[in-house]
Structure 1
Amino acid sequence: MFSKKLLSIYLLLISVNYAANAQKSISLFNGKDLTGWHADVPGKDKNPDTAASFMVRDGKLVSMGDPRGHLITDASYADYRLDVEYRFAGKPGNCGVLVHASIPRVLYKMFPKSLEVQMQHQDAGDFWCIEEDITVPNMEERRGPKEKWGASAGKERRIKNLTDDSEKPLGEWNTMRIECLKDKVRVWVNGILVNDGYNCTATKGQIALQAEGSEVEFRKLQLTPIKNLSK
């Protein structure tokens, strides 16, 4: 039986360990500026004075939609959960979170090599393969004929999600959780599992947000290493 002193030490060690793990959850957005990110917007190559595609407004990270491009983390990550809170504040549209991003502009001289987790209104949770690939159950049903599959231009790169009924009404905040563990990528939208892939051809890389024609607000981008999670 523990003495009171040993019990106190034991509880203290648990608290310290819990606090240490909790501190390893990383906020990718500080609410003030775009520290830790860089933009890759092809349209600015020739017109550097073009308006910014990404900005901070009222404590939120905003993708303005145009000029089109990507906001990319400076750091690379593997084996994590990424919790995102986002909304289309105006009209519904298109955007996405790219995981395992690496080589820039490999597709259409715009998109970095990556796996896109779609945020497009009413399609949240689709996978789009961008020179990286992934497998899901019921592959032909969700991707089309096998002979058309691929991860490059002209191929069937879209893998439909499991349900389109997970999103909240326009203007309300959605939560998206993306779990990347080894070669697996799982996605939840508002607590509903919407995609579950394996055999991904990449297991680490940068994280990117798109500017793809629609204004989208982000108020949370929280990354937690898998090894520090209790479940």
Structure 2
Amino acid sequence: MKTTAFFSGLVAAGLGILLLTGASAPPKKDKWIQLFNGKDLKDWSVKITGHPLNDNFGNTFRVEDGKMVVRYDQYDAFKEQYGHIFYNKPFSAYLLVVEYRFVGDQVKGGPGWAIRNSGAMLQGQDPKTMGLKQDFPISLEMQFLGGDGTHERHTANLCTPGTNVFLNDKLFTPHCVDSRSKTYHGDRWVHAEALVLGDSLVKHIVEGDTVLTYTKPQIGGGNVSDYDPAQKKDGQLIKSGYISLQSESHPVEFRKVAVFDLGPYLNNRKQLQAKLKELQTRKTP
């Protein structure tokens, strides 16, 4: 489904569940927020499994040539040291844009499933609440996968560490589900977007195509370890959270990470629809 159909069909897809119809004035100022400034990581926090918050073990996350990159040249082996870099402000509703590519070879000891594998974690828990040995934040993962040059391998899939969603109006409890995306081989840049509307609706978009839609994101299920039980209240809808990017053992680069904050529009359906229509015709931020 193309982006045009995606925006025009929002209400039918469940947007009406979330929104009120008040006549509040639209925000006076709104703009794209460049989460990554191309220079440094000052607005980000790092959490790597087995290491305290902001111990960027092995200089895993760094800036090179204006890109945020994930590197393993200071690792002797991966040793299940899954990492995430969190933007330091939570959001409730937003359009996220990420441009990424995979490069090089997987670090020694990385699991087979993690070859050319990374992701953007949506509506994630506060990194300050993660356990020392916790592997993934409780969140919704828009999973990025790179092709191996031969086989079909979708990207912008959904994985659910400590969460569940509704898929096709039914509670979906398996850990991952593939999107309908194309396969992107080699080291080419891929443009991915996520539209997140609080605890109502999430859509994954790749190169202008909507490839996956789900609703009612909520805490639940498994596939997350060593978490604080107080942070995992199964059945609780996820209204807001943190955005993070992964290190899962394969080098990856991000040249753009930007958000348009839609939170101020959530109480007015007409304003939100108008803003989404405007964003549809935008140039890439």
Q: Give the alignment's TM-score, normalised by structure 2.
A: 0.62
* 1:95 matches 2:104: no
Amino acid across the alignment from 1:159? V
Distance 1:98 1:50 in 2: 20
**1:171, distance to aligned residue in structure 2 (A):** 1.1
1:222 partner amino acid = A
Q: What are the superposed Cα offsets for residues 4-45 of structure 1, whole Å, 9 maximum, x if unpaired?
A: xxxxxxxxxxxxx99933xx2100001000021100012435
Matched AA of 2:42: T
- Where 2:46 maps in the other structure, the secondary structure is strand
Distance 1:193 1:106, change over 3 A: farther
Instruction: Find the structure with the greater CA-based Rg.
Output: 1
Deviation for aligned residue 1:63: 1.8
Q: RMSD of aligned C-alpha atoms? A: 2.7
1:214/1:138 CA distance change after superposition, 3 Å: farther
- Aligned equivalents of 1:62, 1:129: Cα separation in 2: 24
State the Cα distance separating 1:176 from its structure 2 match: 0.3
Aligned length: 196
1:173 to 174, 186, 189: 189
- Give the equivalent residue in structure 1 for 2:143: 118
Alignment deviations for residues 58-93 of structure 1 (CA, whole Å, 9 cap, x no partner): 000012265431101111011100011111123561
Deviations 1:122-180 (A, max 9, x none): 2312111111211112869xx6xxxxx3xxxxxx211221x242x43311110001000
List, as ranges, runs of 4+ consecutive aligned residues in structure 1 with deviation greater than 4 Å: 103-108
Match of 1:36 among 38, 43, 49: 43
CA contact (8 A) 1:126 1:158 kept: yes
Report the Cα distance in structure 2 between the residues aligned to 1:40 and 1:217, rounded to whole angstroms.
Answer: 18
Deviation at 1:230? 4.4
**Aligned equivalent of 1:158:** 176
Partner of 1:152: none
- Take 2:64 and 2:175, find their aligned partners in 1: how far apart are those partners? 34
2:202 match? 185
Match of 2:61 in 1: 54
Unaligned runs of 5+ in 2: 1-25, 73-77, 106-114, 147-152, 219-237, 266-271, 278-285
- Using the alignment, how far apart are the partners of 2:136 and 2:159 within structure 1? 11
The answer on 1:20 being equivalent to 2:29 is: yes
- Indicate yes or no: 2:89 matched with 1:75: yes
Distance 2:260 2:60 in 1: 27
Task: Read off the aligned partner of 1:173 and give its amino acid letter.
Answer: W
Change (3 A) 1:32 1:19: farther
Which whole-Å CA distance do the structure 2 matches of 1:50 and 1:196 have between them?
35
Cα 1:50–1:79 change in 2 (3 A) is closer
Unmatched 5+ residue regions in structure 1?
1-16, 144-148, 150-155
Secondary structure at 1:44 match in 2: coil
Q: CA deviation at 1:106?
A: 6.6
Instruction: Confirm or deny: 8 A CA contact 2:50 2:133 kept in the other structure.
Output: no
The AA in structure 2 aligned to 1:126 is N
Pick from 76, 81, 99 the counterpart of residue 85 of structure 1. 99
Alpha carbons 1:107, 1:131 under 8 Å: kept: no
Q: In structure 1, what residue type is equivalent to 2:32?
A: S
Amino acid corresponding to residue 189 of structure 1 in structure 2: V
